[in-house]
Amino acid sequence: MYIYLEIRSLISNIVVYTVLAGALLEQAELLLDKGIHPIRIADGFELAAQCAVKHLEKIADSFPVNSDNLEPLIQTAMTALGSKM
């Protein structure tokens, strides 16, 4: 059962990445049709990724872990994995 859940999760992630890559390629094609150089498009995607990472770092919650009390970490993992079953 565990392997099935892992495979299901992996396939779900592959689908998400494939859809995202397809959307980026679709937008890149529109920019190419406007005569924008491919390197400029790639640089723009890289800049957008950097901006996204900075924003995620700003809004992320910290989760301090006490090595003497791992119960909150275990509960968080169980909650996250509960949606995968």
Domain contains 34: yes
What pLDDT score does 47 carry? 97
Number of domains, the chain? 1
Domain contains 36: yes
Domain contains 64: no
Q: Tokens for 66, please give them.
A: 């006490």
Domain contains 69: no
What pLDDT score does 62 carry? 82
Q: Is the per-residue pLDDT at 1 higher than 70?
A: no
Domain span at 15: 2-59
Query: What 3-state class would DSSP assign to 19?
Result: helix
Domain contains 82: no
Domain contains 74: no
Burial-class residue 31 by CB neighbours within 10 Å (0-12, 13-18, 19+). Answer: middle
Q: What is the pTM of this model?
A: 0.61
Domain contains 65: no
Domain contains 83: no
Q: What is the pLDDT of residues 23-75, one digit of tens each?
A: 999 999 999 999 999 999 999 999 999 999 999 999 998 878 788 988 888 88
CA 40 to centroid of chain Cα atoms: 23
Q: Scanning the structure block, which residue is given the tokens 């491919």?
A: 38
Q: What average pLDDT does the segment 6-24 reach?
A: 85
Beta-carbon contacts of 31 under 8 Å, excluding residues fewer than 6 positions away, are 41
pLDDT interval class at 10 (50, 70, 90): confident
